[in-house]
Structures are given as structure tokens and as C-alpha cells.
Chain A
Amino acid sequence: MNELILLKNGEIALKGLNRSTFEDMLVKNLRHALHGVGKFKFYKAQSTIYAEPMEECDLDEAVRRLSRVFGVAALVRACIVEKDFEQIKAVAAEYLSVQLREARTFRVTAKRADKKFPLDSSQICRELGAHLLRAFPHLRVNLEHPDVEVVVEVRDFAAYLHAGQQPGAGGIPVGSSGRAMLLLSGGIDSPVAGYMMAKRGIKIVAVHFASPPYTSERALLKVHGLCEKMTPYCGRMTLLTVPFTEIQECIRRHCPEEYYTLVMRRFMMEIAGRLAEKNDCGALITGESIGQVASQTMLALHCTGAALDIPILRPVIGMDKEEIITVARRIDTFETSILPYEDCCTVFTPRHPKTKPRLDAVLAAEAALDREALVAQAVQGTTCRGFS
């Protein structure tokens, strides 16, 4: 029996003239996701992409990987059958025999896209249903809540049999909305922020600020681990690591204590902004929330983002911590994020941070520093690493 994976397009179906560009991008991403699983042939028709294996491979693994690719509304592993009803009946009984034997109730669902096929949907349901009842006498029909749903899709190239599709990752293909730079701290929020923007089609370039010896090698490896957890969703990622030690030490030495975090975040934003420009990114992405920590009040967000002329996307800004954690668990970044290795954000925390900062006060606080030189130096010393 030949099997393949059917992938139903999501919002792409709505895009008019751009549709084939989106679809091509989606196929490219699907192909990349299956790297190492086996050789696949991809073809498309009518809001559906077909991924057909050209060799023996682990199809369950293939489905698992494809279920994380954005732009797919639903996907299913299905059996290819010739568009001959006798064949369809025979294969249905065999392909789903295990499920049908263990079930007590079933229903048949038919989708008939090929109008040339002799039976219409309701005829398919009735006759296939009758055939299966004969083959599995213990079964009863339950149209509302069946144990097994036998689905027949009669399409252009062939008929496809399966036991019901599963939801895909949703969203639109990564790369179709441009590129943005994600500030990846190693905490719980920033990987979730990256995931959410990738879902809207944005290709992520990540930037991380390291301050050895105040931060450790393990903290950096933790961030590498997070990138690896994100690539199944975000595709290939580049991680830029910025040497931030000198800036943190300067801030500590020359700025008033209550402004440490704010000044630090302004530097981070500015450096990220420069790197974004160098890397063709049209926006920054952060895991900033409102109300979670002292530096994240509206006034503080205004001060830290003031220097930038590209948009700052903050997708988790309206979410409760619990909601963010739920997503983090779902995309498997939570356990890595909570490993206890200090990142630069917590190295020099002020005892009484300014929660309602005024921009002119923040600017005064950082006046003693040679901003331009420090930023240029940090950008220059930035190193790069790929994850796929």
C-alpha cells in the first residue's frame, strides 16, 4: 500500500495572486523540515500539498515534523488508492483494519472533488459503510461521535483514505512576511515571542547578549539549546552573540543604580537595531510583557524603545505568565528556559529600579557613557552561529 501525507493549506488559500509564491515557500519549508527523514516528492493541487515518500521512511516522524511547519492548517497520513470503487472498498478494510477491529462505532466521510467520479459523496458513504459493516460485523454506525472516522477523498490524481486529519501548526509560511531580529535572553518569554512571530511568516534572526565572566558558558549553551528547540517551527535560524561585558561594567560604574536595567535595555535595543539593519531585518521582536518585572511598565517600554526607528514587535505583551508558560511547554522550550544559568538581565539588578522613568532622566543617567563607541565595539565583536 502506498502512503503519503496530505497537507491542507491554511490562510494561503485566501491569498490571491501571491498564492503560488506562498505555496512555493511552504513547499521549501516542508522540504527542509523533512531533511534526513527520506526523499519526498511534493506536488500541489487545490489548496492541498501532497508529500509523497519516494523510499522507505518513518512516516510517523515525517508527520510529526510537518505538523510544526507554519502555513499548514491540517495534515494527515493517507493511503493512495486508484479511483476505482472496488479498490477503495478493499483498501479501506485493510488499511484501517487495526483501528476498525478495536473500535465499536464508526462513520464514513466522503469528499468528492473529482466530479467525474461515478458515485457522489452520499453514495460513497452508504456503500463503503455497508461494505465495512459486512467486513467488521461488530461495528455500529455512529454519525455524531464515532470511534473511527473513515475518510475518503476523491481528488484529481487519486483517491485517498485516512482516519481523519490532525491540526497543523497554522500560521503562514516562514519567510513570507520578511525578517525580524529576536532578542533571545534564555528566559521563558523570548522563545515564545519568536515562535509567535514565525507563525505569522517572519524569518527569525536571533540575538543574544553575553557578559562573561558574569554570565557562564552554560548560559550560552542554554540559548543554543533554545534555538534548536525553535528550528522545527522557525526553520533555519542564525544566532548572533554580542559581547556585552564592557557595556554592563560601564553602566555599573557610571550610571545611577535605579537606571541600570533601563540603560542596559536601551543599549540592547540600539545594538539589536544596528544588527537588524545589517541583517535585512525590518523589525525587532522581544518577549516584553507589561507588569511582569519592574522594567516593563509602559513608561519603561517607551524609554527603552525610544532610540529605534524600526518597529518593535512584542507578541506576548498581552499574555499572562501562565499563558506564556502554556505555549512554552507546547513548543518544548520551557524545560530549557528554566535551567538556572544567569543571563545578563539579572547580573546587576538594582535594589530599587525606576518604574516610572522619564526619558530625559534616563538620557541624563547614560550621559556619562560614550554610547557610540560602546555600541560600535559591541556590534563589531558580534559572532554568528547557524542552527538548522
Chain B
Amino acid sequence: MAEVYLDNCATTKTDRHAAQIALELMERDYGNPSSLHKKGLEAQLRLDRARSQVAAAIGCGAGEIVFTSGGTEANNLALLGGAEARRRRGTAIVAMSTEHSSVLEPLRHLEAQGFRLRLVPPLPSGEVDADAFVDAVDADTILAACMLVNSEVGVIAPIAELARRCRRKSPGLLFHCDGVQALGKTAFSVQSLGVDTLSVSGHKLHAPKGVGALYVKKGVRLLPLLYGGGQQRGLRPGTENTPLACAFGYAAEKAAGEQGRNAERVAGLYEYFVNKSGKLPGVCMNSPATATPYICNLSAPGYRSETMLHFLEQQEIYVSNGSACSRGAKSHVLTAMGLAPGRIDSALRVSFTAENTTGEIDLFFEVLAQGMERLVRSRVG
């Protein structure tokens, strides 16, 4: 049985060439970029190249990229570092209630430290209510956070509009955008988004796990999370993870270059998927039509997500029941959308790469239909 991997939001298979680059950086160009000798310089140059590649992929200058250990660290750096640096100016924070836990948890920590946190619910469709978000901002607000692509339902937020309107109400505010699910899936540039900081992660676009980056607009001040050897302008000290950073750079460049072609392919897959789901009675889509075609959140009410997930895995089909991070807990995003408990309990998240095929989608629906026939319905209907 061949693997049918439809959980690309959770993570993606590492690109072979990206892996080889990492290996090269481990075996050949293994110097420490901070070393003064030639070996260090070699490593430095490769790291610089990686930095430029990531910068080009999101539309900023290489000096505005800070490599981190992943999206979670990037989010933490922006939020904790940004809030602390602005504490004297104000203490209010606004964010969507549908943010990823690596945004919500640092914000909850800030709340426990005395900041005022306002979480804005989405519209029932899952889409961002821009007016409600901007309304929540006042002159005391120093931090606003909204993700560009939602990891559970795929909703795309009107970041440019939000950033602009929020800044009008509170000029010194730092607008952070979690772009982890956006890079590679939707074309954007940090310039046109108008954000102060933006986080990205390697393993969502075929780079290995353990690397990410934070865009920090020139002039924006953050306090670091770590203190040490002063690397990366002191914002993120520690010997840089050159193997993973370079693999990430390659993957980011590839994704950016192929973005158009990939988007077209995936749009086709998405249309095919929606068509097929429409033909299966009892299945309903949770993602709105305006969401990215890369992510489909759907429910087969009456069949618990985890049970269906295991049923699918018996046929080597891999999907998610929401967020991998929550390890089976109820989806806070679907709950915020006000969906019925039966729909939340049975929600499955299917997420594509351009390499998936319509044949794989056929297989998914075939086995899903089998599951709906064979499995015993849970009583939460």
C-alpha cells in the first residue's frame, strides 16, 4: 500500500535536495559562522545566502531575517520581545481567538504578567471580522496579532487592512503576523502586508523540522528571549543552525519560485476535492469557500475524528483531526466558529501539497465512505 499523506499542515516530507544541503553543511562546510578563519567564513557565506533566500521569499531585506528553531520560537520572540519593549507605552494586546497555540500561549503568559488581552472571535464562517478586530484596539494597545492563513480551517486574513487600520488607532503598535501556514501557500510580501514582524517555519515547506525565521522590520525594537554570544544582532544568540537554515533557504526559494505553478495545481485538487465531498451525503465542509485551497476542514458528523483518522490510517491515508499540537483536544478554532459539538467532534483536516494527486483524493473518499458505512456511529450526532 502506498502512503497517501494529506496532513501537510502538520508537517511535510523533507525535500531530498534540502536534506542533502543540510548534510553538506554538516560534513563539509561545517564551520562556525562566528569563527575568524576561512572555515568560519565559508559557513558565514552559506548562512548569508540562506538568509537572502528566505528574505527574497517574503519580500524583505536579508538583514531583517532572524533564524530561529521554528515557528513557535519566532512567535514567542515577536510577542514576548515586542510586548516587553513597549510596556511603558501601553499594556493592551489584541489577537484573534483562532490563533495557533504558539501565539495564544505567550499572550496568556503576558496576560498573567499584567497585560490586558482581548481575543476577538471570528465570524461563524471562520473569516476574520475586520471591524470587530479594529474596534478592540485602543490608544493603549501596543501589540496586535493575526495569522495570515489559519492552520485549522485555512481562512486567509485581510492583514494589510488590519495592520493599516490598527496603526491608525494606535500608532506605536506592533503588528505581528503568524505566517507559518502562509509561506508557500499564498503569495505575499511583508511590504504589502505592512506588518512589523512575521513568523515562518521550515518544515511546512519541505525543509527539515527545527528551523524557522522571524521577519523583524528595520527599526522595530524587540527584547530577545535568549542572551549569549551576540549572534544575529543579539536578537537570537547561539551558534546558528547552519545545516537547517541553509536547507530552509533552499526550500523557501524553491517554494517562492514555484508558488504560482503549485497554486494552480492545488486549486485543481481543491476543486476536485470539494466536488467529491459534495457527492458524499453526510459530509460537510467547515472551511469557507474563501479559504486557501491548500487546507480543507470537513466533518462527517456521527463519526469521531480520532476513530475515522485511525480507520483511514489502516489504509495508509494520513489526515489530521484539527491541530497536531493539541494532541486530540477539542479544536478551539471550530469552537470559536460556533459549530455544533457533533461537527467539531468529527472534524478532519485535509491539507495538500502540489505533489498530491486526484487519485489520492479518490482513495481518501473511498475509504471515508467505507468508514462511514462500517464504523459504528458515536451517539453525539
B306/A351 in contact, CB under 8 A: no
Docked pose: A65 CA to B212 CA in angstroms: 45
* Binary CB contact string for chain B from 326 to 344 against chain A (1 if under 8 A, 0 otherwise): 0110000000000000000
Shortest beta-carbon distance, B289 to chain A, in Å? Answer: 31
A38 at the interface (CB under 8 A from B): no
B188 at the interface (CB under 8 A from A): no
> Which residue on chain B has the smallest CB distance to residue A252?
B376
> Which residue on chain B has the smallest CB distance to residue A350?
B379
A85 at the interface (CB under 8 A from B): no
> A340-B327, A340-B328 are known contacts. Are A212 and B310 too (CB-CB below 8 A)?
yes
Residue from A214, A217, A340, A348 with most neighbouring chain B CB atoms (10 Å): A214
B314/A253 in contact, CB under 8 A: no
* CB within 8 Å of B: which A200-228 residues: 212-217
B30 at the interface (CB under 8 A from A): no
* CB within 8 Å of A: which B300-318 residues: 306-311, 313-314
* Residues in A whose Cβ lies below 8 Å from that of B314: 212-213
A213/B379 in contact, CB under 8 A: no
Docked pose: A351 CA to B378 CA in angstroms: 12
* Binary CB contact string for chain A from 315 to 355 against chain B (1 if under 8 A, 0 otherwise): 00000000000000000000000001010000010010000
A213/B328 in contact, CB under 8 A: no
B375 at the interface (CB under 8 A from A): yes
Contact partner, A216, options B310, B376, B378, Cβ 8 Å: B310
> Which residue on chain A has the smallest CB distance to residue B327?
A340
Contact partner, A342, options B306, B308, B327, B376, Cβ 8 Å: B306
* Residues in B whose Cβ lies below 8 Å from that of A213: 307-311, 313-314, 375
B311/A348 in contact, CB under 8 A: no
Docked pose: A342 CA to B321 CA in angstroms: 15
A82 at the interface (CB under 8 A from B): no
> Which residue on chain A has the smallest CB distance to residue B304?
A214
Count class of interface residues, chain B: 10 to 19
B306/A216 in contact, CB under 8 A: yes
* Residues in A whose Cβ lies below 8 Å from that of B378: 348
* Residues in A whose Cβ lies below 8 Å from that of B313: 213
B376/A348 in contact, CB under 8 A: yes
Docked pose: A214 CA to B307 CA in angstroms: 5
Contact partner, A253, options B307, B309, B376, B379, Cβ 8 Å: B376
* Residues in B whose Cβ lies below 8 Å from that of A212: 310, 314
> Which residue on chain A has the smallest CB distance to residue B374?
A249
Shortest beta-carbon distance, B313 to chain A, in Å? Answer: 8
* Binary CB contact string for chain A from 353 to 385 against chain B (1 if under 8 A, 0 otherwise): 000000000000000000000000000000000
Docked pose: A247 CA to B309 CA in angstroms: 21
* Residues in A whose Cβ lies below 8 Å from that of B327: 340
Docked pose: A351 CA to B380 CA in angstroms: 10
Docked pose: A253 CA to B308 CA in angstroms: 18
Shortest beta-carbon distance, A214 to chain B, in Å? Answer: 5
Shortest beta-carbon distance, B374 to chain A, in Å? Answer: 8
Docked pose: A216 CA to B308 CA in angstroms: 11
Kindly list the 6 A-B residue pairs having the minimum CB-CB distance in the complex, ordered from nearest: A213-B310, A213-B311, A252-B376, A249-B376, A214-B307, A213-B307
Q: Which residues of B contact A (CB under 8 A)?
A: 306-311, 313-314, 327-328, 375-376, 378-379
Other A-B contacts than A253-B376, A342-B306, A348-B378, 15 sampled, CB-CB below 8 A, are: A212-B314, A213-B308, A213-B309, A213-B310, A213-B311, A214-B310, A215-B310, A216-B306, A216-B310, A249-B376, A252-B376, A257-B379, A340-B328, A348-B376, A351-B379
Instruction: Name 25 interchain pairs, CB-CB below 8 A, sorted by A.
Output: A212-B310, A212-B314, A213-B307, A213-B308, A213-B309, A213-B310, A213-B311, A213-B314, A213-B375, A214-B307, A214-B310, A215-B310, A216-B306, A216-B310, A217-B310, A249-B375, A249-B376, A252-B376, A257-B379, A340-B327, A340-B328, A342-B306, A348-B376, A348-B378, A351-B379
